[in-house]
Structure 1
Amino acid sequence: MSRTAGTAARGDRLWSVDEHLDDILGKIRPLEPIELQLLDAQGCVLVEDVTVPAALPPFDNSSMDGYAVRVADVEGASEQFPAVLTVVGDIAAGSGELPAVGPGEAVRIMTGAPMPPGAEAVVPVEWTDGGTGGGAVTAMAAGPGADDAAGGEVRVHRPVAPRAHIRARGSDVGAGEIAVRAGTVLGPARIGLLAAIGRATVTVRPRPRVVVLSTGSELVPPGEKLADGQIHDSNSFMLTACARDAGAIAYRVGAVEDDPHTLRATLEDQLIRADAVVTSGGVSVGAYDVVKETLSGLTGEEGSVAFRRLAMQPGKPQGFGRIGPDRTPLFALPGNPVSSYVSFELFVRPALRALMGLEPFADRQTVRAVCAGGVESSPEGRRQYLRGHYADGTVTTVGGAGSHLVKALADANALIVVPEDVTSVAPGTELDVVLLD
């Protein structure tokens, strides 16, 4: 997502999208690193390179259930002329004492078990008669202790190459190598790698805790019956999901009525668990725009929130500031659902990534695409973000430009960007498209 440097001039003027975004990112600082247990660190950003203390795997081990043998002893073996070996022991995964393999001998071995001295390869059990005793194959499947193979014989029906079916010491990663680099988001596979090399804890930047609330006395939670003039609160659910999708730990507070004292008390209660706060609604110039009324007058230790008009559609009214003793970032977004969603994508998502110590725009790719149907009209002087469906280098608009069209938003997988100086787009014109999936 490209940005240009903006001038943070003051006054009641129209801010560009880039100016507002630059102002936000200029005031965001990454969260302080903390040490966490591995599973608690999932989704967090590693702040230091983690090196491998010892080779992985730490010893040569078998990749198959079978028999550890000397290569010369099974050379030329076939179904007609099998190599007959004396079984001198049994090794399970985790075994400590290992019987040596001498000429004409074999050791029954399980997957993951360490290779015994003298053995040069592993013959899979399927290449043998399973050993003497009639139940040896079943015993192999059942594991050690099911049938003691020592003292019996095994017939091998195929030769084996040196080192066949052996996982070599250090074949995964060697001692001293970097296992996971700083700046990496820890997903399941990397958590598994860290556990495999013996790390119980790691130092990471934590996932930001985001408190999400909607404002509006008309809002009713989903599942409750609507009275006249009421609508269901969708924004708090959508924005909470957005925050989680961006990698944050999100807390949905729900809807707060249009009362400044109630909103102020709610914010004060929530700041204790917030690294960022996201509100929706109440940021325009109406008589009941409670967020703007409540936060415009903050001073001193309370922090400050600036409310602006942006040269964009949807999402013209925006608010941003830092509140409370810890100067917690607060994003005041418009109340219309599409405006709220687009504002989150443009301003909140990059800021949350910055809090995690990540590059703000790396998870949202902007591509050039052919706008198949064109755009009949776009407001002059505003950057328009239309919902679109992108596939194979082509994008088509989904729904209209109305900021209340939630169904069209749900059907979109991209935002079509119409520049400020463009008032219409002919079919087949290339435009920037922000991919949402």
Structure 2
Amino acid sequence: MAGLTGAPGDCFGGEGALLSVEEAAALVAARVAPLHGTETVPLRAARGRVLAEDLTAPADLPPFANSAVDGYAFRRADRPPGGTLPLAARVAAGQPAAPLAPGTAARVLTGAPVPAGADAVALQEDAAAEGGAVTLPAALPAGANIRPAGEDLARGELALPAGHRLDAAAIGLAAALGRPALRVARRPVVGVFSTGDELVEPGQPLGPAARHDSNRHTLLALLDALPAEARDLGILPDRAGATAEALRAAAAAHDLLLTSGGVSAGEEDHVRQAIEAGGALHFWKLAVKPGKPAAMGTIAGTPVLGLPGNPVAAVVAFLHLARPLVLRLAGALPRPLPRLTAIAAFAHRKKPGRREYLRVWLIGGEAHRYPRDGAGLLASLARTDALAELPEDLTALEPGTPVAVIPYAGLF
């Protein structure tokens, strides 16, 4: 399936190395090749897909000069001193317009073609029509209230480049250009595992030391916001042999594997060892909090990304590692996480060296901190709407200080 470029023994970071967010993104861009293969889909099925062709305008958009208002089209040089011209025509949207006869005006409605020869349209509120004639305002600039042909796009102009992720506006633009379908990149097939003997499927009874698996369902939902085909591969037990065999089998049928848990140095953490045993390990620890433990490598040429087990850490690592990796495999143009600036409504102290993410509410331009910080508090994500991003060198944040925030909208 898909793979990482570079020599099998190349490593993204040493055993104790901490990679910054930017270094991790650069490594993904350098090592991961986009997938091959495209398909043509109707516009109704194109939302969220990645455009696999440059979309150019086959004709001017709009294709003809049209009126931006309900009003009266005329040639400014024909306006007499009294401002009154006879009305010679009426043109509605969808009707062809004959050239404007010299010394006359035409009633035009919004979207209607502007008759050839007219160089301005007077807003109906600024004119007075009576008895088959119209009195026009004294001064209008050339082109007033006229949308010229090609105002949006000129014929042959690039409308959208290959690699553009298709949203509602892009699909509407394709429709305006007369395209009923678009050629899009093949979506990467992403398999998602959870790991841990303590995990139980939602809906099943819990034992005395068990808990319901949430990470897998969170990651699958996050993948739904990306151009990917996500597959639920269930829960891996805490057994080295079973973990290695499951990853090896899944690698043959997927373009990317995601796991959560099992990437630390504990006795029951087997994902990292399974990657080493089945392929090549390209491992780093990310310089973020939460989300430090992460492992990446290949098994049979398929990228495998091991995310942390704590729910909040898994989400933070997903946004910085899995998201750009999926977009890269899908052939999408690079798109950084959306960031806004808010005013901190709280104080915070941190150690230097790691980028820290705090869960916040955004209220009237202010970021209000969630009262608890634990990396295992999934409710803290459900109850907030953004992550406040504190840079590596920051040690103290005071109320009233501008802070970068990453809103969940569009990501979750």
TM-score of the alignment, normalized to the shorter chain, above 0.5: yes
- The correspondence of residues 252-263 of structure 1 with structure 2, limited to 5 A, is 253=232, 255-258=234-237, 261=242
Residue equivalent to 2:147: 167
Compared CA separation, residues 174 and 208, structure 1 to 2 (3 A): same
Q: Corresponding residue for 1:436?
A: 406
**Which sections of structure 2, spanning at least 5 residues, go unmatched?**
1-8, 408-412
Flag structure 1 segments of 5+ consecutive residues without an equivalent. 1-6, 132-152
Q: Which amino acid aligns with 2:312?
A: V
CA shift for structure 1 position 402 = 3.6
Structure 1 Cα separation of the partners of residues 13 and 129 of structure 2: 86
Q: Which structure exhibits the higher relative contact order, with contacts defined as CA atoms closer than 8 Å and separated by 6 or more residues? A: 2
Instruction: Output aligned runs, 1:34-433, within 5 Å.
Output: 34=38, 36-37=40-41, 39=43, 40-46=45-51, 49-69=54-74, 75=80, 83=84, 85=86, 87=88, 89-96=89-96, 98-102=97-101, 107-117=106-116, 119=118, 121-124=120-123, 154-159=132-137, 161=140, 163-181=143-161, 184-200=164-180, 205-206=185-186, 208-222=188-202, 226-245=206-225, 247-249=226-228, 251=230, 253=232, 255-258=234-237, 261=242, 264=245, 268=249, 272=253, 274-286=254-266, 288-289=268-269, 291-292=271-272, 294-298=274-278, 303-305=279-281, 314-324=290-300, 327-357=301-331, 362-363=336-337, 373-375=347-349, 378=351, 383=354, 385-387=356-358, 389=360, 398=370, 402-410=374-382, 411=384, 413-418=387-392, 425=395
Check whether the contact 1:213–1:253 (CA below 8 A) recurs between aligned residues.
yes
Secondary structure at the aligned position of 1:211 is classed as: strand
Contact 1:291 1:332 in 2 (8 A): yes
SS of the aligned residue for 1:436 comes to strand
Aligned to 1:14: 16
Secondary structure of 1:229 counterpart: coil
Is contact 1:278-1:330 (8 Å) kept?
yes
- For the 8 Å contact 1:282–1:334, the answer to whether it is kept is yes
Question: Identity, % of aligned pairs?
Answer: 35
- In 1, the alpha carbon distance for the partners of 2:154 and 2:304 equals 46
- Indicate conservation of the 8 Å contact 2:65/2:113, yes or no: yes
Cα-to-partner distance string for 1:280-333 (whole Å, 9 max, x where unaligned): 1233455544545654432xxxx4456676776544543222234xx2211112
Cα contact 1:364–1:436 (8 A) shared by 2: yes
Q: Secondary structure at the match of 2:59?
A: coil
Q: Which residue of 2 aligns with 1:135?
A: none
TM-score by length of 2: 0.70
Tell me how far apart the structure 1 counterparts of residues 355 and 248 of structure 2 sit (CA, whole Å): 32
| Whole-Å separation in 2 of the counterparts to 1:268 and 1:398 | 41
With 103-112 and 164-173 compared, the bigger mean Cα shift is at 103-112
Distance in 1 between the 2:286 and 2:359 partners?
A: 22
Q: Which amino acid aligns with 2:356?
A: Y
Contact persistence 2:34–2:330 (CA under 8 A): yes
By how many angstroms is 1:335 displaced? 1.3
Residue type matched to 2:223 in 1? A
Name the structure 2 match of 1:140.
Answer: none
Distance in 2 (CA, whole Å) between partners of 1:338 and 1:86 is 69
Q: TM-score, normalised by structure 1?
A: 0.67
Structure 2 CA distance for aligned equivalents of residues 107 and 296 of structure 1 = 78
1:339–1:127 CA distance, 2 compared to 1 (3 A): closer
Contact 2:388 2:403 in 1 (8 A): yes
CA-atom RMSD in angstroms: 4.8
Q: Which has the larger radius of gyration?
A: 1
C-alpha distance in 2, partners of 1:352/1:223?
A: 30
Deviation, structure 1 residue 100? 4.8
**Quick check: 2:95–2:112 contact (8 Å CA) kept in 1?**
yes
Distance 1:100 1:293, change over 3 A: closer
SS at match of 1:14: coil
Closer, same or farther: CA 102–226 of 1 in aligned 2, 3 Å: same
